[in-house]
Amino acid sequence: MVSVGNEHRLDARGLLCPMPVIRTQERVATLQPGDTLEVVCTDPGALHDIPAWCRVHGHEVTATRREGTVITITVRVAGT
């Protein structure tokens, strides 16, 4: 089942890890289950840290895109 939630965007460009993860965590805390958050960042460390953070909290990474130095990671917020 695919639940359709609201789409949100977080600009974490220029931040170094663990700041992109911290900003993602803060933002996800304000979202509803099923919502998606597109995190845009430039630190390659986020490619490891954001999925790891999602795994320990049960959220899902639905897409990862890399265009030049810009990385976009899409997170679907888990139910509580």
Residues labelled catalytic: 17
21-80: contacts with another protein (CB under 8 A): 21-22, 25, 43-45, 48-49, 52-53, 55-57
Count the residues of the shown chain that bind another protein, applying the rule CB under 8 A. 18
Taking CB under 8 A as the rule, does residue 5 contact another protein?
no
Long-range contacts (CB closer than 8 Å, 24 or more residues apart) made by 17-24:
17/43, 17/45, 17/46, 17/49, 18/49, 20/45, 20/46, 20/49, 20/50, 21/46, 21/49, 21/50, 21/53, 24/50, 24/53, 24/75
> Would you say 35 or 43 has its CB closer to another protein?
43
